[in-house]
Structure 1
Amino acid sequence: MPIDKAQYVATDPGACGPDAVARAFENQVAYCRDNGAPVTALVCDALRQLLDTERGGAVMRRVRRWAGPALADALPLRVAGGLHALHLAGEEPALAPIYEGLGPTHGAELIADAIERHEPYLMPWLDGPPQTNEAGRSANFAAAFLWLVDQGLPADFELMEIGSSAGINLMMRRYRYELGGVSAGPATSRMKLVPEWRGDPPPAGAFDIVDAQGCDVAPVDLTDPAQALRLKAYIWPEFTERFARMDAAIDAANSFPPEIARMRAVDFLQRQLGKPRKEGTTRVLMHSVVWQYIPAEERERITALMEDGGARATADAPLAWVSLEANRDTHRHELSVRYWPGGEEWRQLATAHPHGAWIEWSG
């Protein structure tokens, strides 16, 4: 099936079995194609073609027999990340025509050969979900904080991020934002985030971050070159500006690393919410492209913890929840907010590109 014929079909993220594996790969092809990532679409399409063959050795046998939910596990991106790492490390020159955007017609053969040659290297990439930490998403959080300040919440924020990965968004106090004509953050920052802005600008104003802590079940240490390479491998190669942002984030982490606990999201949140509240500070839970990886029972407990914490929030010590997550029905990422007291229901502020290229404001 040609890439342009692949269709994104809403399906049960928890579905398992061979049909679910095939659907996960077709969905990923369509998603990458529609988000301006033809190289990654080609890689995922080549892997999809290999599902119907005997090529790819033990790696593809494990993919074909995947026991878990292939869509929720982001199975296509696990394999694609490993292949991209091979290219970035210069270990597989034969993949260069693919990653240079030349669109070779024998991409499936090139990828099958690479998988079979590097089986021991690629197999561990199947063991865990992709790490897609992206500084560009911080622009969404900055816009949401400006909106919350406009609602009357204190402008000093205490961040609690779940699924922090390498903590790139935890360092957002050091970034500069240009949001539809509204500026925020230090003017001298090396990291300047200027997403294409659609719609009205967010409220003008200012905010500060007085504390920033996060958690991840498998945090990434950006000061370790091997772990930094792994994170770069999950960047879609089409988006060269993301590599520049990653280099800036690595520099920032080397000068002052973010605080990331190796914990489950619910345990971290319970710990953070149990700390004494500081008046004049907005405590905020934030997360981006992580909710789908958290088990349903844990998501329910997180929601209950936030609603219980919200019931105890005051105007001088409010609680907020900022989410940038995929809507499985519309296939778009939505920036949504809840806060206590006063804004207990979810309010969608924007839709956004998953890697920060644009924000369409509706707040």
Structure 2
Amino acid sequence: MAIDKARYVAIDPDATGPEAVARAFENQVAYCRDNGAPITAQICQSLRELLDTDRGGAVMRRVRRWAGPALSDALPLRVAGGLHALHLGGEEPALSAIYEGLGPTDATELIAYAIERHEAFLMPWLDGPPQTNEAGRSASFAAAFLWLVDQGLPGNFDLLEIGSSAGINLMMRRYRYDLGGVKVGPKTSRMQITPEWRGSPPPEGNFDIVGAAGCDVAPVDLTDEAQALRLKAYIWPEFTARFARMDAAIEAAKTFPPEIVRRRAADFLAERLERPQEEGTTRVLMHSVVWQYIPQPERDRIVELMEAAGDRAREDTPLAWVSLEANRDTHRHELTVSYWPDGDMRRRLATAHPHGKWIEWRG
């Protein structure tokens, strides 16, 4: 199957077995290709081809026999992340032709050789889901906050983020945004985020972040060089602007690190929602590209916690829920918002590129 022939086919995200593994790789090829990532598409295409061979040693044997749901587990990106780390660390020079976009005709052979040669390094990359913390996604949050202010909610936001990874989005008070001509954030910020804007701009206004705390089951310390390199490995190599944003986030974390605890999302949220809320603030649960990794029973508990907290919300202490997550039917990432005490009806404000490249605003 050529890359240009790959197509995304909706399947049960919890499906298991060899067919589900193959489809996860085929879907990833199509997804990367359609999102302007031909190098990552080539990596995933070569890995898909290796599924039908006996190449790749213990790593590919484990992939072929994957017991969990390959799609929900983001299995292709686990392997791709490990291979990218090999390249970034200079451990496998033969991969350079692929990562430099030269399109070598023997890409599958190069990848098979690298996997077989670096089994010990690559096997741990299969143990957990990708960490794809990305400052560009916070532009969607900023637009949602402007919209909430326009609805009459207090513009002082107390953020609670689940799946924070390295906490890059928790530091968004230090970032400058240009959202379709609407500018917000400190003018002198090193982190200047300007997504391609489609549609009308968000409401004019301003907001402030008065509190920001998050959780993750495996938080990343940006000030640790090895952990920072791991996070960079999950950046698709085509998107050079993301590496620049990552470097800026690393510098910001060294100055004033984000507040992150190692905890499951529902447990963190339950504890934080019980804390007193200062009058004149809007408490916000926010998350991006993490919902698919949370087990269904825990997702159900989070919904229950938010509905109960919403029942307690008042005009001077409102609650909001802002998320940027994939719609499994349309294969697009949607920015959705609920807030209380107005009611918990979900509103879709925008669709957006998963790494912040563009935002298509509906308002």
Q: With structure 1 as the length reference, what TM-score do the two structures score? A: 1.00
Query: Helix, strand or coil: the match of 1:105?
Result: coil
Aligned to 1:28: 28
Number of aligned residue pairs: give it: 363
How far apart are the structure 1 equivalents of 2:240 and 2:263? 32
Letter in 2 for 1:9: V
CA deviation after TM superposition for structure 1 residue 246, in Å: 0.2
Aligned to 2:159: 159
Query: Helix, strand or coil: the match of 1:348?
Result: strand
Aligned to 1:308: 308
How far apart are the structure 2 equivalents of 1:29 and 1:105? 17
Q: Does 1:283 align with 2:296?
A: no
Aligned to 1:253: 253
List alignment gaps of at least 5 residues for structure 1.
none
CA deviation after TM superposition for structure 1 residue 228, in Å: 0.2
Query: Helix, strand or coil: the match of 2:112?
Result: helix
Q: With structure 2 as the length reference, what TM-score do the two structures score? A: 1.00
Letter in 2 for 1:79: V
Identity across matched positions, percent = 79
Letter in 2 for 1:195: P
Letter in 1 for 2:235: I
How far apart are the structure 2 equivalents of 1:314 and 1:238? 46
How far apart are the structure 1 equivalents of 2:35 and 2:71? 18
Aligned to 1:9: 9
Query: Helix, strand or coil: the match of 1:104?
Result: coil
Query: Helix, strand or coil: the match of 2:139?
Result: helix
Query: Helix, strand or coil: the match of 1:102?
Result: coil
Query: Helix, strand or coil: the match of 2:157?
Result: strand
How far apart are the structure 2 equivalents of 1:125 and 1:336? 31
CA deviation after TM superposition for structure 1 residue 343, in Å: 3.9
CA RMSD between the two structures: 0.4
1:2-53 CA distance string (max 9 Å, x none) = 0011110011000000000000000000000000000000000000000000
Query: Helix, strand or coil: the match of 2:153?
Result: coil
How far apart are the structure 2 equivalents of 1:144 and 1:299? 22
Letter in 2 for 1:69: P
Query: Helix, strand or coil: the match of 2:360?
Result: strand
Query: Helix, strand or coil: the match of 2:261?
Result: strand
Aligned to 1:228: 228
Letter in 2 for 1:49: E
1:123-160 CA distance string (max 9 Å, x none) = 00000000000000000000000000000000000000
Aligned to 2:199: 199
Correspondence 1:32-51 to 2 at 5 A: 32-51=32-51
How far apart are the structure 1 equivalents of 2:352 and 2:341? 27
Q: Does 1:114 align with 2:95?
A: no
CA deviation after TM superposition for structure 1 residue 344, in Å: 1.5
1:189-216 CA distance string (max 9 Å, x none) = 0000000000000000000000000000
Query: Helix, strand or coil: the match of 1:167?
Result: coil
Aligned to 1:209: 209
How far apart are the structure 2 equivalents of 1:182 and 1:102? 39
Correspondence 1:65-76 to 2 at 5 A: 65-76=65-76
How far apart are the structure 2 equivalents of 1:140 and 1:278? 25
Query: Helix, strand or coil: the match of 1:140?
Result: helix
Query: Helix, strand or coil: the match of 2:13?
Result: coil
Aligned to 1:349: 349
How far apart are the structure 2 equivalents of 1:112 and 1:254? 38
Letter in 2 for 1:348: R
CA deviation after TM superposition for structure 1 residue 307, in Å: 0.4
Letter in 2 for 1:334: E
Query: Helix, strand or coil: the match of 1:186?
Result: coil
Query: Helix, strand or coil: the match of 1:152?
Result: coil
Query: Helix, strand or coil: the match of 2:55?
Result: coil
How far apart are the structure 1 equivalents of 2:102 and 2:260? 40
Letter in 2 for 1:17: G
Query: Helix, strand or coil: the match of 2:323?
Result: strand
1:286-320 CA distance string (max 9 Å, x none) = 00000000000000000000000000000000000
How far apart are the structure 1 equivalents of 2:271 and 2:9? 39
How far apart are the structure 2 equivalents of 1:362 and 1:259? 32
1:138-183 CA distance string (max 9 Å, x none) = 0000000000000000000000000000000000000000000100
